[in-house]
Amino acid sequence: MIVVLEGISAAGKTTFARRFGAGLWLPELEPLGPRPKDDAPLENHATFWANHNIRRFQLALAIEAKHGFVVCDTDPMKIHYAWCMEKAGFNWPDKFAVARRFVRRAIVDRQIGFADRYFVKRIDPDQARKQKEGDETRRRGNFDQHLALQPHLMRWFETLSDVLPGRVEFAFPDQEQLLAEIQNKTPEENPRRFDVSIFDSLVGQLPD
């Protein structure tokens, strides 16, 4: 079972995921190799980030195969980031219209797919800032940018909930309850993990 924790920076994703212990949670990873220059062709950016996210999803599959489940700190697919950046008005070089073609191909090729459960947490901006300032273990660059992304992040996962009913909840779960569900495999693992029609429906229902 692949479990995803989502929310903006300082929402508590990493703190919650770490409770499961090393080897059972998948953190965000540094990209391999240098990022394309900002003026590089859009396809270069799309390829770079698609490959990075494929790498994370494949690691999630490996952990799942070994332990039966994995808790991901942020969705490995992460195509939502390009969409949210554009909706919030930021000039991010990984353009959604281009990136989605690469992600769609990766789903068809079963290199990346959908999780079994998504837990998405909205956090009050003042509380997020307080948690950020109280955490001396991590640097959180562009924090105000993350705050601006939150309404779009929520809209993305609300749309995903429409096309994957029963798979998305808008709060972090009780850890013991989640472990019990995982052990009992309830709900069942997503039989549509690599169903590209889910992706097409998601993209089609997003606001223009």
Buried b (16+ CB within 10 A) or exposed e, 78-112: bbbbbbbbbbbeeebbbbbebbbebbbebbeeebb
Give pLDDT, residue 144.
78
Map tokens 């990136």 to a residue: 99
**pTM for the predicted model, two decimal places:** 0.88
Dump pLDDT digits (tens) for 25-34.
Answer: 999 999 999 9
45-101 pLDDT, tens per residue? 999 999 999 999 999 999 999 999 999 999 999 999 999 999 999 999 999 999 999
- Which range has the worst mean pLDDT, 69-83, 97-111, 167-181? 167-181
* Helices and strands per DSSP (H, E), number in the chain: 8, 5
C-beta of residue 53 within 8 angstroms of C-beta of residue 110: no
| pLDDT reported for residue 141 | 58
Domain spans of the chain, in order of start: 2-203
Pick 2-203's CATH classification: 3.40.1160.10, 3.40.50.300, 3.60.21.10, 3.30.1130.10.
3.40.50.300
**Residue listed under structure tokens 């223009």:** 208
CA 177 and chain centroid, separation: 22
